[in-house]
Amino acid sequence: MDKRVPQLSYSEVTPKGVYTNRRNFLFGLAATGAAVSGWKSFSRWMSGPATGSVPAPLSGFTKWPDSTTEPITPEKDVTTYNNFYEFGTDKGDPSANAKNFRTTPWTVSIEGEVKKPLKLHMDDIMKLAPLEERIYRHRCVEAWSIVVPWIGYPFSNVIKLAEPTPKARYVAFESYYSMGQMPESVSAGIPFPYVEGLRMDEAMNPLALLCVGMYGETLPNQDGAPVRMVIPWKYGFKSAKSLVKIRFVKNEPPTTWSLATPNEYGFYANVNPHVDHPRWSQATERRLGNFFRRPTLMFNGYSDQVASMYTGMDLRKNF
């Protein structure tokens, strides 16, 4: 007997039934994946031409002097590679599935600890303050980044209009949700409607932008139409899309990703290369459209404007 050949006892041989079941199981997984992919393609085909809101040119905005001089990410990349789980979890799903999303008419409710509760229509929001184009870096938690010419104005204008009471220490945001318009959300694995929040000093920071457009036009559906937040020193999931409710509250509000997986996503979500996500490093990032990675900047490069808000805080604990 050749001792170089490993000897197996019969008890170590996988029973035929187990092998067959495992093969059938793997085949089933592959078939299910193919079926899901096929269904997505079929449902997109069946939906026909776009009937929802489409971007329209914006005019009258000024260039913000403090915008970055970094190259702007091509619009095609920013509008076809998205996180918007209401329209699907694959990066290409939102641009395909949001084409029938209707964003008119649209109202944003301002509620909670304020002296002046409001219901703002989009015309009101567009006229609330002069629009500015701000070229911001935007960093997503999956370690990819973009540079986008966002159009909007400081969220502090909304705060001043609502006149929060002394009890208001946080601002809570709620996104639009409708199973009728967002059937792909059933498989997203997170609770809806999507909710987010900021501390009041964060919301008052001049960088916090109430955004109504990008690339010279109103927002595309897949990028958060018709109105969203852009908070450039935080990971992208903090910038809530398609806002319908803003509440001023006393206590730290719940946030969707912290509710779903609290060990992975904290309330603050400040861009921090020294605090890794449990499943990947945050030390580097890849700019969409580029092959090579680059070092991640603390606070996404906005330390001079925001670091003072976190003086004395343990940013590893308050991630």
- As for how many domains the chain has, the answer is 1
Provide the 10 A C-beta neighbour count for residue 35.
11
Q: Does residue 36 sit within a domain?
A: no
pLDDT in tens, 181-207: 999 999 999 999 999 999 999 999 999
Residue 240: partners with Cβ closer than 8 Å, 6 or more residues away: 173, 174, 175, 194, 195, 196, 224, 228, 229
Q: Does residue 304 sit within a domain?
A: yes
CATH of the domain at 221: 3.90.420.10
In degrees, rounded to 5, the angle at the alpha carbon of residue 175 between the alpha carbons of residues 98 and 113 is 165
Looking at the DSSP assignment, which residues form a beta bridge with residue 62? 132
Gap between the Cα atoms of 285 and 166, Å rounded: 40
Q: Does residue 139 sit within a domain?
A: yes
Q: Does residue 30 sit within a domain?
A: no
Gap between the Cα atoms of 201 and 189, Å rounded: 31
Look over the chain and give the mean of its residue pLDDT values, rounded to a whole number.
Answer: 89
**pLDDT above 60 (res 14):** no
pLDDT in tens, 112-149: 999 999 999 999 999 999 999 999 999 999 999 999 99
CA distances from 305 to 66, 160, 232, 299 (A): 11, 20, 11, 9
Q: Does residue 3 sit within a domain?
A: no
Q: Does residue 204 sit within a domain?
A: yes
Q: Could you tell me the residue range of the domain that residue 113 belongs to?
A: 74-310
Gap between the Cα atoms of 38 and 83, Å rounded: 21
Q: What is the mean pLDDT of residues 31-39?
A: 44
Q: Does residue 279 sit within a domain?
A: yes
Q: Does residue 37 sit within a domain?
A: no
pLDDT in tens, 66-87: 998 999 999 999 999 999 999 9
